[in-house]
């Protein structure tokens, strides 16, 4: 056990950062107090810390990238779970950001797509050759029904109830092309991931 020099609470040694320069091998402040101290310093010296971080990154760019690469490879599952948890905890924030970015960069996205098609004609052809015929037929059917007035697109996402100018048609089953859920881009991505997960589970089972 060790007593923190800042908060005065006696804690287990695992609650202290290690230090080679200390006689007992640990920092005098506990991890909680060290974090509070570090946060205060970064807030009070924001410009200095930012400048030092950028300078350090530029000098050690390759080593940092290699370190991150090794960590990601070693902890891929842990990182995936953390990313998923973080996204779910701030899903409304990310949806708002995605919508704002999408509306602001519509033309840029079109130009990037057009450029990619021109620069990668073979990959583009391969993509359409391998495109699921049933999926293609479902997309054509719902598009034609929409243009012909047989189907009416709502103004709100049927999943999150957010108002959107452009809604996607999500198919749970491509063999039923007119049975769709009208949803925003974020919800469409989520529904697609859930469907793929279900398909993988049924295949594995």
Backbone CA torsion sign across 38, 42, 48, 53: positive
Task: Compute φ and ψ for 71, nearest 5 degrees.
Answer: -65, -45
Report the pLDDT value the prediction gives residue 93, as an integer from 0 to 100.
84
Backbone angles phi, psi at 107, to 5 degrees: -65, -35
CB-based contact 37:6 (threshold 8 Å): yes
Asked if residues 142 and 169 have their Cβ atoms less than 8 Å apart, the reply is: yes
Give 92's contacts (C-beta < 8 A, 6+ positions apart): none
Burial of 189 (0-12, 13-18, 19+ CB in 10 A): middle
Question: How high is the pLDDT of residue 189?
Answer: 83
CA angle 164, 169, 170 (to 5 degrees): 115
- Extract the runs of DSSP E, i.e. beta strands, from 45-125: none
Helix, strand, coil content of the chain in percent (nearest 5):
65, 10, 25
Q: Which long-range contacts (CB under 8 A, 24 or more apart) does 25-31 make?
A: 26/2, 28/4, 29/4, 29/5, 30/4, 30/6
| pLDDT for 202 | 66
* pLDDT tens-digit map of 22-55: 989 999 999 999 999 999 999 999 999 999 999 9
Q: Which of 186, 189, 203 is nearest to 90 (CA)?
A: 186
Rounded Cα distance, 35 and 153, in Å: 51
Cα dist from 62 to 16, 38, 56, 75, 113, whole Å: 30, 26, 11, 20, 31
pLDDT attached to residue 204: 58
pLDDT for the residue 205: 55
Average pLDDT for consecutive 10-residue bins of the chain (205 residues)? 94 94 92 94 93 93 92 89 86 79 78 88 80 86 92 89 84 90 86 78 62
């Amino acid at each position: 056990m060790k007593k923190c020099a800042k908060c005065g609470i006696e804690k287990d040694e695992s609650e202290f950062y290690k230090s080679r320069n200390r006689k007992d091998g640990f920092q005098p402040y506990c991890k909680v107090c060290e974090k509070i101290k570090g946060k205060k310093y970064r807030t009070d010296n924001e410009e200095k810390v930012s400048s030092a971080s950028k300078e350090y990154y530029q000098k050690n760019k390759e080593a940092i990238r290699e370190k991150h690469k090794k960590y990601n490879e070693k902890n891929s599952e842990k990182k995936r779970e953390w990313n998923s948890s973080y996204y779910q905890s701030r899903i409304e924030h990310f949806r708002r950001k995605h919508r704002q970015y999408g509306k602001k960069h519509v033309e840029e996205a079109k130009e990037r797509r057009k450029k990619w098609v021109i620069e990668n004609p073979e990959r583009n052809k391969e993509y359409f050759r391998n495109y699921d015929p049933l999926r293609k037929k479902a997309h054509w059917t719902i598009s034609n029904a929409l243009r012909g007035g047989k189907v009416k697109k709502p103004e709100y996402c049927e999943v999150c109830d957010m108002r959107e100018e452009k809604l996607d048609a999500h198919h749970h089953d491509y063999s039923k092309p007119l049975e769709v859920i009208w949803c925003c881009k974020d919800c469409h991505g989520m529904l697609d991931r859930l469907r793929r997960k279900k398909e993988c589970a049924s295949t594995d089972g």
